Structures are given as structure tokens and as C-alpha cells.
Chains A and B, each alone.
Chain A
Amino acid sequence: MRQVSEQEVLRVDGARKSFRTPESGVVTPLDGITLSIRNNEFLTLLGPSGCGKTTLLKTIAGFEELDEGEIFLEGRAMSAVPAHRRPFNTVFQNYALFPHMTVAGNVGYGLQVAGVKRAEETARVTDVLRLVGLSGLERRKPAQLSGGQQQRVALARALINRPRVLLLDESLSALDRKLRQSMQIELKNLQNTVGITFIFVTHDQEEALTMSDRIAVMDKGRILQLGTPAEIYDTPKNRFVAGFIGTSNIFSGTLAKDGGTSRVDIEGGPAIAVTADGFASGDKVDVMLRPEHFALASGRTGAGGSLDAVIENIVFVGTDLHLHGRLANGLPVVALERHARGAGALSLAPGQTVTLHYQATAPHLMKSQAA
């Protein structure tokens, strides 16, 4: 069974890389990244396209060089080590299966080039194919496999070398939604079985939340926040992270502390009651409220507050109702109501004004990025 320890396996130290492209001038995919990766953890690099996450993965793998900084594997500098000598293996976005080799040939390739004996190779190929559920397909060519099967071959091929770190580059993005969801679970189980550090690159926040031990949210070549999925979701550091992970309502305003209570005055609109440790009165702040923090029912106990909103649109998604509305000052707001069959929420209609209640602990304060 996998044991995540605090012990560091890989460290990226001050990684910087930029290049010039004819289309958009100087691009800086890595703008001073420092990151410590723990033994056996599942770390996800999450960010929009062009944020530098794939470049970071490629420099770890050794496919691209850093301009500045260093990558250490258990304290050993890697920049002088070419890709084929690094104990990392990659599952590529398009799988990159060798079309002229069979499944067994693809999977056994790493062992062959390492000079492993034929008998051992065969045994290990059989084992790893069983692990990924592809027993019996040894003699197929990649073109004869489905997308999901190709994905598993790529995984088996990367795992058979027992890498110190497995790098996965948007590895699930080519699969359709259903298959992707089941592969997410399977990948997680697989990691638990093999006990290898996984670094996973994705732009899909849902995927990141589902699988990761920790997530590094990246934008413009920097890591904005590194933390567990719950930390990232509940206490994002800034507006970008809050907006990128999940759905959120983010309001800008000024913090006002008044004795024991604090509130954020939203420009031209209502105030939101908050708890504001570590902030001073008069600070420009962003305040985040997740849609699920709102409740239509007012009967809750404890301190809190409410916002009035006019409903513009109601989206029924099965388990939930998404209420899209506007505050009095015109700012959009989204609230989520759990759908219970026959419950009153269904009687809501666009145009109606509702009161959205929240608890005092729900609003999350962030330093305003404009400041």
C-alpha cells in the first residue's frame, strides 16, 4: 500500500525558461518555479493552457532544458542528465505508442533497451499488462486498440521500468467523459498498488480535485498556490485560483472592521458579513462565496448574513438546481440548491426575488489582486 511521506523525492528550484516565438514575442512558460514533491504523492499541476505546466513536466522529464534553476532527484542535480538516463517515465498526451511494434513490444521496449534478459522481460510484461487489465492483447498492434486500451498500454509501458517518478501529460484528455471518469479512479487505485510518485498535468480542475494528494495551481509560469484539494477549494489564495477551481461568486470590496464584527462593502452594493483574521480595516479585498454556501431557507441558526437577488435563470442538472441571478447593483450571483423531489425550490421562477442566506464562516477573504 502506498505511503505518502514528508520525505522529498524531487525538487524544482528556481526554474526559469523563456523563448521567443514569431507569433507572440517572448514567452515565459516558467517564471521562477520552486516546488518540492513528496515521496509517493499524487501531485497535479493544474492551470489553463499556456500556464507552463506542460513545460515544467517536460523539463523534469529532460525533453527541454531550463534557462535557470535546477531539478534535484533526491538531492542529485538533473540538468546534466539526458532524458534517457533519468529514472522518470512519461505517459504522453497522445500516448506516443510505437505503431510498428505490438503491445508487448511497446511495453517491453524500456526493458529491451536496458538490456534486461528475454525471460525476465516476458514475465514483467505479462505482470504489468495484467496490472492494467490488458492480458491477452500482447500481440495486437496499437492501431487495433481502442482509445482506452491505448491509454493502458501507455501506462504499462511507463510503469514497467519502475520509474522513481511517473509523469502524466494531460493523459486522460483524449478520452471521452465517461471513460475519463472511470480511468481517474483506476489511475488512483493503480498508484496505490504500485506506490510511485505521480506528477499529473491537467487543465481540468475536476480531474485534479478527484485524484490529487496535492495540487499546484499555475498561471503565467508561476505557481499561485500549492495545497491539498480541500485547501485549494476552500481557501484559495486569490481571485484566479478561486475562479479556476469550481464555481464561485467573487466580489471586490473594502474591508470594514467595526468592533467584533467585520464586513466587506461591495462597491455600489450590499455588504457581506465576514470573519477577517489577518486583514486590516480599509484593505481592498476579494470575497468568495461558493454557490453551495447559499441557502434559500432562512431558518438557520448562528451568525451570518444574506443577499437579495433577482433570479434570471434556473438550470436543472439533476442533483442540483443552479440559480443564476443578479444583486441589486447588477452583479451576477450563482447559488446552488440541492434538488429534493417535490420540494419547493422547483416552484421558483425567473423574475422572482429571493434571499440567499450564508453562514458567517462561509465567506472567504483574499487579498485583492488589483492592489
Chain B
Amino acid sequence: MAERSTISSQRRKALFVLLTPITLLLGAFFLIPLGIMVVYSFLEPGLYGGVVWSFYPYNYGRIFGWPLGGGEEFEPLYIQIILNSLYYAALTVIVTLVVCYPVAFWVSRMGPLAKNIVLFAITLPFFANLLVRIYAWLLLLRPTGAVNTALLSLGIIDQPLNMIFTEFAVIVGLVYVLTPFMFLPIYASVERLDWSLVQASQDLGATPFQTFRRVILPLTAPGIAGGCVIVFIPALGNFIVPSFLGGSKVQMTGNVIERQFLQARNWPFGSTLAMIVMASVLLLVLAYTLWMRRAANNERLAGAGHV
């Protein structure tokens, strides 16, 4: 009986060798740091950037309204900034969705060669340096930038438009940077779309709008949902785009976190803000996962055999 287990003991050994590195890496340098961050958000900020090891719920209090007082006041500005960030992230999702959805259909109807070339062309800018891509928009949008210069010289305007350091600039920057994240999942679901279903819908007398709403939209919904989630997440926590294109006027939670860590040196409060970002992200991902699971179950129950 003892030697029977040689095959499974070999498998166990192999699994141990294969899984140990990732376990150590993500355990030590991902889960533990995040755990410490959670702990930090409940610690009292010490002088000069340190922490005091006692339970201290007032970091959350400063944001949500139960402050300790004495310099640590409730500041409605933080809720405002958090809500603004959620709003900018949501707006970015909507704009990227509207921009990418038709493009996905455009690409999916191409011949194989053109399709590969265009897909490659759409994916490639994602790999250009993030800073460089945002910097490019700084060059485009600033008062002496390309857009203003062109409009002025064409005589369309006689004063430079005030575009940089506005919400508009931040949204444009986020949309530009995050477009590939929206495009790829949508494209994947459009590519899987069975066009005979669209023809069947037309054949049954549906108008193009009805076909879109009743057939195309539900069938591409998983891609849309996936794209929305993976655009929303980096948009929410972004601080490079608002710090380049929003200046001091348009702030997102990321900018406040950065300042708490690198200037104010209040790490517990910075951790608290990061916790709020992380919690929003995890809630969103959880909702998405549950929704996808329900959709998959429904499909299985319906016994849909088509791929």
C-alpha cells in the first residue's frame, strides 16, 4: 500500500515546486502588504510620518463624520473628492464604451488580414509609456498647444480655449489611456456574436433598433460588463492623469493619497483613503463575478448548446 502512492507523491512534489514561488511572492509581497495597509488605516498618525500603535477609527471619521477633533476635523471635501472620482471614473467608462462599441463592429466585419492589422494597431498604443501618452495631451490641450494654435491660426477662435486643467482634460486623458481596456473585451464578445441570430431577428420582422436591443446588446453584454469593470478600476485610482491634466483644480482620490504619503506624511490617513478605493474596486469585482456566474447558470439551465 505504501508504494501505491508513488504517482501521487510525485504529483504532490511537482505541485509543491510549481506553487511555492507564487505563494511566497503573492503572500509576502501582496497579501501581507495589503493586510498591513488595512491595519494602518486604523492606526493613529504619529508625528513626522510615524504611527502610534493604538486603535484609532478617526481616520475614517475625518472622511465620514466622526472626527476626533483638535486638528483632525471632519472635512466634507474628502467625500466630495471621492464622489468626484467615482463620477469621473463612471464618465470615463461611458465615454470609452460609446467610443469603442462601434469600432468593435467595424473590426469584426473585416477580412482576416485587415482585422489582424487593425487589432494590432489598436493594441499597440497601450504599450507606449503612460506618461508619454498623457504628456502628449498636455502638448495638445495647453493654451499654446497644438489644438489652440491650430484653431487660432484658422481663425475659428480669437482667444485660446481654456482646456488644460479642466474636468474635460482629465476625462479626455483617462479615455485615451484606458480605451484599449474597453475595446478588447467588447471586441471579443462581438467577434463571438453569431450573425445568423441577427439575420434570424431581421427575418422575424424586427427593426434594426429592435434587433440591436433584443439580440445584439444582450449577446455582447458580457464584453460590455467586462470592459466597464476593467476601465472603471484604473480610472478610479488614477493620479497621474489628474496631476498632469487636472492641475490643482481637478483632483481625484489618487492625488490626495499621493500627497498623504509623499508630502503630508500621514500614512494612516492615506491608507484609509486607499482602503476606500480598494473597497470600491472589490465590491465592483464581486458584483461583476456574481452577475457573470448568474448569467452562466442561466445559460446552462436554458440548455443553450450553441457556442
Contacts and interface: CB of A to CB of B under 8 A. Distances in A.
Contacts of B8: 65
Given A65-B7, A65-B8, A80-B3, 12 more contacts: A62-B7, A65-B4, A66-B4, A79-B3, A79-B4, A80-B4, A80-B6, A81-B6, A82-B6, A82-B7, A82-B10, A83-B7
Interface in B6-64: 6-8, 10
B10 to A, nearest CB: 7
A79 B3 CA distance: 7
Interface in A34-68: 62, 65-66
A83 B3 CA distance: 14
A66 B4 CA distance: 8
Interface of A: 62, 65-66, 79-83
Q: Which 9 A-B pairs have the closest CB atoms?
A: A80-B3, A79-B4, A80-B6, A65-B7, A82-B7, A82-B6, A65-B8, A82-B10, A80-B4
A153 B8 CA distance: 31
8 contacts: A65-B4, A65-B8, A80-B4, A81-B6, A82-B6, A82-B7, A82-B10, A83-B7
A216 B10 CA distance: 33
Contacts, number: 15
A80 B4 CA distance: 5
Contacts of A62: 7
A96 B210 CA distance: 48
Interface of B: 3-4, 6-8, 10
Nearest to B8: A65
Contacts of A83: 7
A81 B10 CA distance: 11
- For the residues of A in contact with B, the DSSP-based class is loop
A65 B3 CA distance: 12
A49 to B, nearest CB: 19
A79 B6 CA distance: 8
A317 B3 CA distance: 56
Contacts of B7: 62, 65, 82-83
A80 B9 CA distance: 11
Contacts of A65: 4, 7-8
Contacts of B4: 65-66, 79-80
A79 B4 CA distance: 6
A197 B10 CA distance: 29
A57 B282 CA distance: 47
A80 B8 CA distance: 10
A18 to B, nearest CB: 15
Contacts of A81: 6
Residue among B4, B8, B10 facing the most chain A CB atoms (10 A cut-off): B4
Contacts of A80: 3-4, 6
A257 to B, nearest CB: 51
A312 to B, nearest CB: 34
A252 to B, nearest CB: 36
Contacts of B3: 79-80
A82 B8 CA distance: 10
Nearest to A63: B7
A365 to B, nearest CB: 43
B226 to A, nearest CB: 25
Nearest to A65: B7
Nearest to A83: B7
Nearest to A82: B7
B301 to A, nearest CB: 14
A83 B8 CA distance: 12
A66 B5 CA distance: 10
Contacts of A82: 6-7, 10
